[in-house]
Amino acid sequence: MKQINVLVTAASRRVGLVRGFRAAVERFGQGRVITTDINSLSPALYFGHGNHIVPLTTDPEYIPIIESICDVENIDLIVPTIDDELPLFGRVRPRFEANDVWVAVSSEETGRICNDKYLTYEFARMNGIESPRTRTVDELDFNDVEYPVIVKPRHGRGSIQVFEARDEQQLRFFSEYVQDALIQDLLSGTEFTVDVCSDFDGRVISAVPRERLVIRAGVSDKGITRRNKPVLEFACHVAESLQLVGPANIQCMWDGNKASLIEVNPRFSGGIPLTIESGADFPAWLVQMRAGRRIRPQIGMFQENLTMMSFEDSVFARADELQPGRSRQARRFARKSSTMAYVN
């Protein structure tokens, strides 16, 4: 297989993801993984083969800078990782493809829908996908509310500013406190995040439901894989309806009879190391697809009841090693120990 070089943007704390791609490119053709971030103190920068410091996604020079990195590093595949850049990369994807650089990202329209929780709800309703009733503050009738309800930002991430309102007084307060608030019916049941991988034609290759046991800062800190067939089928239907490309995670609630869509993030999830460890190696499949291989669907083929328990680890560096242009030295001080523990 030809050598594939991968660029992982906004690496931040995504050490498990960078490690996954590093293992993939080294296994299939001795490729390289390059990372980017706005902050030289982002630990995942130092687990690839090199890194670059870049401006914010909103900077008009962001895409030209990414293009220059692709030229310098001979990048074949870009993996965007944060919500803000997904519609942007979806829009400029043809521009990169014209230079033989593939981007593992859904379309601009799909990114726009998924980044807006109200548009996600409207999409679900229009496509017959079960989802809890969701209203803007302007649509809200305080006399037509069954408590408790969830108040969340329309464009939020990571469970930031998400609150449970148990009465009208709390609802009025949180509706004003949360910027651009949405009010969503509270569902009971088991919360799942389903990691989904689709090929570049939008064909679902794999879906792995993870029961979210402990959430920390909006990311699954402890989770367990479950082979729940209705949840699997539900997630695949959502992915196909949205025409997702590459990685995504679909959050839903299972009440024992049906699944209901909470939100969709068309990118890798924070809990992706568990999915990879369970046998659904999304990074390896993306690398192989970029090399021209067609991956057959492997839906439901993963290790069930595998538990992940995350813990903190550290990266150490001298001040001079954190300066831009010293990316080739990064591997020397990146710690090799695992940041996850797995129990079968």
Q: What is the CA radius of gyration of the chain?
A: 20
CB 154 within 8 A of CB 182: yes
119 falls within a domain? no
Our count of domains for the chain comes to 2
Statement: residue 272 has pLDDT above 90: yes
DSSP at 295: P
> How confident is the model over 273-283, as pLDDT tens digits?
999 999 999 99
> How confident is the model over 217-234, as pLDDT tens digits?
556 678 999 999 999 999
123 falls within a domain? no
Q: Both 86 and 219 in a single domain?
A: yes
User: At 58, which CATH number?
Assistant: 3.30.470.20
Quick one: how far is CA 148 from the chain centroid?
Answer: 28
CB 88 within 8 A of CB 66: no
Statement: residue 341 has pLDDT above 70: no
Q: Both 180 and 194 in a single domain?
A: no
48 falls within a domain? yes
Statement: residue 327 has pLDDT above 50: no
Mean pLDDT of 154-161: 82
Q: Both 34 and 152 in a single domain?
A: no
Domain range for 49 = 6-114+189-343
Q: Both 102 and 154 in a single domain?
A: no
Q: Both 70 and 210 in a single domain?
A: yes
Q: Both 335 and 211 in a single domain?
A: yes
SS (H, E, C) 196-220: EEECCCCCEEEEEEEEEEEEECCEE
Of 217, 193, 194, the C-alpha closest to 310 is 217
Identify the pLDDT of residue 215. Answer: 66
Q: Both 284 and 194 in a single domain?
A: yes
Mean pLDDT of 206-212: 95
127 falls within a domain? no
Residue 30 burial by Cβ neighbours in a 10 Å radius (0-12, 13-18, 19+):
exposed
Its pTM surpasses 0.75: yes
- Classify 176 as helix, strand or coil: helix
Interaxial angle between packed helices 108-115 and 86-97, expressed in degrees from 0 to 180 and rounded to the nearest 10:
170
CB 171 within 8 A of CB 183: yes
Q: Both 255 and 279 in a single domain?
A: yes
Distance from C-alpha of 330 to C-alpha of 180, rounded to nearest angstrom: 41
Q: Both 217 and 311 in a single domain?
A: yes
User: At 177, which CATH number?
Assistant: 3.30.1490.20
126 falls within a domain? no
Q: Both 154 and 211 in a single domain?
A: no
Identify the pLDDT of residue 2. Answer: 83
| Final residue of a structural domain among 169, 185, 201 | 185
Mean residue pLDDT across the chain: 91
